[in-house]
Structure 1
C-alpha cells in the first residue's frame, strides 16, 4: 500500500464506508423480505402479505434517509475516502435498487398477486446473492483488497439474471399457463427485477474504476 503524506496530515473521513455498508445491509434485508414473500405468497394471508410489503416500504424509506445523509455529509466533508462523484453514484444506485424493489412489492399489492411463476423466486435468490456481494464489495473497498474478484462475481450474477430474464419471459408466452393480463404483469415484474441486478452490477463497475484510480 502506498503511503501518502497527505493522508497522514489530513486523514480521510472513513464514515462513508460505514454509510455504504449500512445501505447494503438495508438492501439485503429488503431482498430477504421479498424472497420470503414470493416463496410463500400462495399460503400467506392478505394481512401477512401487506405487512411484508409495508416492511419493504419502510426499508426503502430508511434507504432514502441514508442516501440524503450521505449527500449532506459530502457537502460538509473536506477529505473523502473516494472521489465525491463516485460516492454519490454509489449511493444513488443502491437507493435506486431499493426503490425498484419497493415498486415491485407495491405492484404485488396493486395487482393482487396470489401466485407467482417459479422464476420469480429464482430471481429473488439472485438479488439476495448480489446484495450480499455488494456488502462484501464495500468491505473490500475499505480494505483495498479482493475488489476485482467480487466485481467478477457480481458480473456473473448479472449474466445469470440476463439469462433468467429471457428464459422467464419466453416461458410466460409459451407454457400456456398464463392469461394475457398475467403475461403483462409478470413481464413487467421480471423487467424490474433485472433492473435491480443491473443497478448493483453498475456499482461494481464504479468500484472497479475507483480501484484503478487509486492504484
Structure 2
C-alpha cells in the first residue's frame, strides 16, 4: 500500500531539498568547530567562531522554512510530526555546536585539550553520517545505510559521553585554576550535548524508516 500511495503522491520539491541543505550545513558547522579547536591562537580562532555563528544563523533560516512549509503544505513526504521532530533535532545540534564555539571565544579558553579535539572530530563524523542518511530519504532505496548510520551515531554518542566524563574527571584531579576548569568543563559539556542531539536526530530517522520501510 505504501508503494501505491507513493506512486500517486506528488514529488516532494520542498522538504527534501531543505533537509539536505540542513544536513550539509551541519557538516559545515561541525567542520568549523574542528578548525576552531585545532587553532591554538585565540585571535586566529575568532575567524572560525564567526563562521560557526554564520552557519548557525543559516541553519535557523532553513528550520524556519521547513516549519513554514508545514503550515502551507497539505501532502508531506512523511508524517508531519516526524518532519517537525527531524528539523528541530537538526537545529538543536547546530545550536549546541554554536554554543561550544561561542564559549571557546567568549570565555577566552586558554587550553584546547585533546578531549575537545576528539569530541569536535566525533561530531563531524556524526553530522556527516546524518547528512548521508538524510539524502537517502529522497527515495528510501538504501534503507540499510540509514539503519547503519543510526547505529553508528548511537555508538558515537556513547563515545562522546565517555570522552567528556573522563576529561571532566581529569580536570578536577589536575586543573588548579578553578575558573579555567569551569570554562573547559562548559565547552566539553556543550559538545557532549551536541552529540546527544545527534542521537535524537538518529532516533527520528529510525522512526521515519519504520513507518516508511
Q: Report what 1:187 is aligned to.
A: 185
Which of 62, 77, 86 is the equivalent residue of 1:66?
A: 62
CA change 1:8–1:114 in 2 (3 A) is same
**Pair 1:119-2:115 in alignment:** yes
Segments of structure 2 that go 5 or more residues without pairing to the other structure are none
Conserved in 2, the CA contact under 8 Å of 1:30 and 1:98?
Answer: yes
Q: Report what 2:3 is aligned to.
A: 3
Which of 76, 80, 87 is the equivalent residue of 2:83?
A: 87
Shift of 1:130: 0.2
Give distance in 2, aligned partners of 1:25 and 1:103. Answer: 19
1:41-52 matched pairs, under 5 angstroms: 41=40, 44=41, 46=43, 48-52=44-48
1:134-213 matched pairs, under 5 angstroms: 134-144=130-140, 145-146=143-144, 147-174=146-173, 176-213=174-211
Give distance in 1, aligned partners of 2:55 and 2:189. Answer: 21
Large movers: runs of 4+ above 6 Å: none
CA change 1:139–1:178 in 2 (3 A) is farther
Q: Report what 1:105 is aligned to.
A: 101
Conserved in 2, the CA contact under 8 Å of 1:24 and 1:135?
Answer: yes
Q: List per-residue Cα deviations over 1:167-198 (Å, max 9, x = no partner).
A: 11111112x24411111111111111111011
Q: List per-residue Cα deviations over 1:18-51 (Å, max 9, x = no partner).
A: 211111111111111111111122xx361x3222
Q: Report what 1:39 is aligned to.
A: 38
Q: List per-residue Cα deviations over 1:70-123 (Å, max 9, x = no partner).
A: 111111112111111111111111111111111221112221123211110011
Conserved in 2, the CA contact under 8 Å of 1:14 and 1:81?
Answer: no
When the two chains are superposed, the root-mean-square deviation of aligned CA atoms in Å is 1.7
Where 1:78 maps in the other structure, the secondary structure is coil
Conserved in 2, the CA contact under 8 Å of 1:12 and 1:79?
Answer: no
Conserved in 1, the CA contact under 8 Å of 2:22 and 2:59?
Answer: yes
Give distance in 2, aligned partners of 1:15 and 1:92. Answer: 17
Give distance in 2, aligned partners of 1:156 and 1:142. Answer: 25
Conserved in 1, the CA contact under 8 Å of 2:109 and 2:180?
Answer: no
TM-score in terms of structure 1 length? 0.91
Give distance in 1, aligned partners of 2:189 and 2:28. Answer: 21
